[in-house]
Structure 1
């Protein structure tokens, strides 16, 4: 699946938004990928995650034992990618501000792949990796549907990205005038009560 085919699915679902957005990372961007608009369509989600699973088979030697995703955004693509790989899918969730595996167990030494929806700074992936490694499992790769850094972010293990899509992002005190002139919207899930 090509980058353009991936982005076409996002466009078809109305998931590429333009305006002034505050990302989960705290950075500001003129573009937001509202993946929930894609995930509401099981057929579109299946196309993307099946393609990601095929890339994982080709690019991750030795395979994986299970997928771990950060809640909330990574649960759907993690589950659907795991389905196509024939492995379990579990997730971490925040407890006292830190990701923890609350509902599941991971065997020590398990070969784990972290699957996330969109990669911007890699913070959620690194936090998920820390939670998994604390339990004695081995993170062998990470997978994302879209890498907003287009390869610039290093998560510490091989990254399998279905598509790279470089989108500008700025600290709040370094906004270009055209972005600063628009009201900021925070559409992500982190910080919701």
Structure 2
């Protein structure tokens, strides 16, 4: 899996502002992997294998990073794959997508770090009567236990810092915000 990340230039080094508000010295830009359908299939195959054991009705990918992940997992598993997107910076289900009460759902992400976006989607789906089973992702960067299990292809430990304690800020390295969430 690391080789796939390297050969697609998805593993970046520098000074990054994460969607959690924290800073890091490395960043996994999964969009670089997902631009190649054959690589997307390979990198998500281990996740699909683990999900086969679960009784899932629908996969939900939060925009942006989770859309292609949900689609590819849906393709491999023969399941419906839909997505949420932000409306006034709040996750919503749009475009005629629906969640039926009692639906068993897996949230699909490219990278899970703090789980903030996933938990926002979980809250939305549960308000519609869904049962959220887990989070599926390419990369698991979590440093603490989340409310849901994370099923991933790869666990990656990357240093993260609060802005106030960031050695990269102190050394004057310019920060880059590669994610899609607005602050």
> Considering only aligned residues, what root-mean-square deviation do their CA atoms show, in Å?
1.6
Aligned length: 182
TM-score, normalisation: structure 1? 0.89
Q: Is the 8 A contact 1:20 1:184 kept in 2?
A: yes
Candidates 70, 77, 101, aligned match of 2:93 = 101
Q: Is the 8 A contact 1:122 1:153 kept in 2?
A: no
Q: Is the 8 A contact 2:15 2:168 kept in 1?
A: no
Following TM superposition, by how much is the alpha carbon of 1:161 offset from its aligned partner in structure 2, in angstroms?
1.6
Following TM superposition, by how much is the alpha carbon of 1:126 offset from its aligned partner in structure 2, in angstroms?
0.3
Candidates 76, 79, 96, aligned match of 1:87 = 79
Q: Distance in 1 between matches of 2:146 and 2:118?
A: 7
Q: Is the 8 A contact 1:50 1:80 kept in 2?
A: no
Candidates 121, 133, 146, aligned match of 1:128 = 121
Q: What is the 5 A alignment of 1:23-42?
A: 23-42=18-37
TM-score, normalisation: structure 2? 0.94
Q: Which residue is 1:3 aligned to?
A: none
In the TM superposition, what whole-angstrom CA distance separates every residue of 1:76-97 from its partner, at most 9, and x where no partner exists?
0111001111110011111122
Query: After the TM superposition, which segments of 4 or more aligned residues of structure 1 sit over 6 Å from their partners?
Result: none
Q: Which residue is 1:70 aligned to?
A: 62
Q: Does 1:166 align with 2:157?
A: yes
Q: Is the 8 A contact 1:10 1:16 kept in 2?
A: yes
Following TM superposition, by how much is the alpha carbon of 1:179 offset from its aligned partner in structure 2, in angstroms?
6.4
